[in-house]
Amino acid sequence: MANEEYGATAERRTGTSPGRRAVLGAAVLGAGAAVAGAPGVARAEGRHGHGHGGDLPVPTVIAHRGTSGYRPEHTLGSYQLALDMGADVIEQDVVPTKDGHLVCRHENDITATTDVAAHPEFADRKTTKSVDGAQLTGWFTEDFTLAELKTLRAKERIPGTRQRNTLYDGRWEVPTLEEVLRWAERAGRERGRRVWLHIETKHPTYFRKLGLGLEEPLAKLLRRYNRHRRHSPNFLQSFEPSSIQRLRKLVDAPGVVLLSTANSRPWDFVEANDPRTVADLIKPEGLRWMASYAKGIGPTLDLIIPKGPDGKLLEPTTLVRDAHAADLILHPYTMRNENTFLPADFKKGTDPTAYGDAFGAFKKYFATGIDGIFSDNPDTALLAAADFRAGGSVNE
């Protein structure tokens, strides 16, 4: 089903901003070797860049919600497969339960990613809420205790597109962040390497107003598992800059400000009557402001290379160069192998659920000098990153 709702906050609002169509320059369209010499893209040089904690390759492959191309997202099965595939970093989105535990879900509405609708004992919890300005009807984590949430099982979000993943429906619980931290600690010991995480606070202003602030329990957990330091193996991300600023006061782990479409405003800006849009934040002054408290930004891929009206990629913007000039790394999102999610120039055939030329798309994005990328298919992304570092491509 090609038009299945992915549930990505930002993808819903994607669109090309003509104002962001500035050209980065012909050099960045070349292969890896040429890119390394281009202004503002020095971090793409060599296997280990300067933008991270030292033990991460660049471009860094971030397993989006685990291996959500192959397993129901945000489950221990999805994270384990990402680790087994060799993903450099594994992502968690976090929301709170009624009793204040942080659990890994992309959003507090758990209708699409759990079997909650099949639990008659929770039928009366179905409700309609306004979350960050959107009217949503379903079941919400903040209305469940952790014990109640643990009686549910995770399922595939987009079964029409990823039917194979439904094989695993019902296999895993909703994990707590603490369970993931314990798993990462254990897996790191077994493998003799640090397990990097990329933890996102979801709807932080909304939850703070409910008395369920995310940052304090997150900081407490990071301290408990010795992941609160500047060089700890995790990034902390949010679409709301104030969440990153709050975390900055609590822990030293590096923050990444996520950026949606150019004309959107972070929800904390809306609540605080701050008129700035994402288009303002990606101007040099906005980038310098974010660099005063964050290590990097996580823009949509469209902010790196916009698409034209035909859905094909245009020329890269100056965002990579500008962000690097402000001393910010870039972790854009999200690459997925299926035709339905790829730019039009990399689709193959007419089946929206079939794989397109993902390697071709990865090559284009890596050539801009980005420091990392979120992908639902970390195995594909790892091969593409290796091709890029070797200066070649499977398509050549």
Residues that bind ligand G3P (CB under 6 A): 8-10, 64, 93, 106, 200, 237, 258, 298, 333-334, 374
HEC secondary structure over 60-106: EEEECCCCCCCCCCCCHHHHHHHHHHCCCEEEEEEEECCCCCEEECC
Which of Ca ion, ligand G3P, none does residue 240 bind (CB under 5 to 8 Å by kind)? none
Q: Does 73 bind Ca ion (CB under 5 A)?
A: no
**Residues 62, 110 contacting (CB under 8 angstroms):** no
**Beta-sheet pairing, 89-96 with 60-63:** parallel
Closer of 10 and 56 to ligand G3P (Cβ): 10
**Residues 29, 317 contacting (CB under 8 angstroms):** no
Tokens coding 109: 């509405």
96: Cα within 13 Å, side-chain hemisphere: 21
**Beta-sheet pairing, 102-104 with 89-96:** antiparallel
CB of 238 to ligand G3P, least distance (A): 9
**String marking each residue 91-130 x if it binds Ca ion according to CB under 5 A:** --x-------------------------------------
Amino acid 189 reads R
Tokens coding 161: 């597109």
Stretch that binds Ca ion, among 88-96, 157-165, 215-223, 241-249 (CB under 5 A): 88-96
Indicate the angle between helix axes 177-191 and 215-224, nearest 10 degrees. 30
CB of 78 to ligand G3P, least distance (A): 13
Phi, psi (deg, nearest 5) at residue 341: -100, -10
Long-range contacts, 223-228 (Cβ 8 Å, 24+): 223/251, 224/178, 224/181, 225/181, 225/182, 225/184, 225/185, 227/181, 227/197, 227/253, 228/252, 228/253
Closest to 294 measured CA to CA, from 269, 259, 334: 259
Phi, psi (deg, nearest 5) at residue 299: -80, 165
Closer of 79 and 333 to ligand G3P (Cβ): 333
CB of 146 to ligand G3P, least distance (A): 22
Closer of 71 and 321 to Ca ion (Cβ): 71
Phi, psi (deg, nearest 5) at residue 202: -100, 130
Which of Ca ion, ligand G3P, none does residue 206 bind (CB under 5 to 8 Å by kind)? none
Which of ligand G3P, Ca ion, none does residue 333 bind (CB under 5 to 8 Å by kind)? ligand G3P
Tokens coding 374: 């979120």
Closest to 45 measured CA to CA, from 35, 53, 31: 35
Closer of 195 and 197 to ligand G3P (Cβ): 197
CB of 9 to ligand G3P, least distance (A): 4
Stretch that binds Ca ion, among 193-201, 209-217, 289-297, 316-324 (CB under 5 A): 193-201
CB of 303 to Ca ion, least distance (A): 16
Closest to 254 measured CA to CA, from 109, 84, 127, 372: 372
Which of ligand G3P, Ca ion, none does residue 298 bind (CB under 5 to 8 Å by kind)? ligand G3P
The residue sitting closest to Ca ion, measured at its beta carbon, is 200
Q: Does 240 bind Ca ion (CB under 5 A)?
A: no
Closest to 384 measured CA to CA, from 361, 362, 357, 356: 362
Which of Ca ion, ligand G3P, none does residue 10 bind (CB under 5 to 8 Å by kind)? ligand G3P
CB of 10 to Ca ion, least distance (A): 9
Closer of 93 and 109 to Ca ion (Cβ): 93
CB of 73 to ligand G3P, least distance (A): 9
Q: Does 200 bind Ca ion (CB under 5 A)?
A: yes
Terminal CA-to-CA distance of the chain, rounded, Å? 32
Tokens coding 138: 């379903």
Tokens coding 275: 């008129």
Closer of 36 and 282 to ligand G3P (Cβ): 282
Which of ligand G3P, Ca ion, none does residue 258 bind (CB under 5 to 8 Å by kind)? ligand G3P
Which of Ca ion, ligand G3P, none does residue 334 bind (CB under 5 to 8 Å by kind)? ligand G3P
Which of ligand G3P, Ca ion, none does residue 158 bind (CB under 5 to 8 Å by kind)? none
- The residue ranges that bind Ca ion (CB under 5 A) are 93, 200
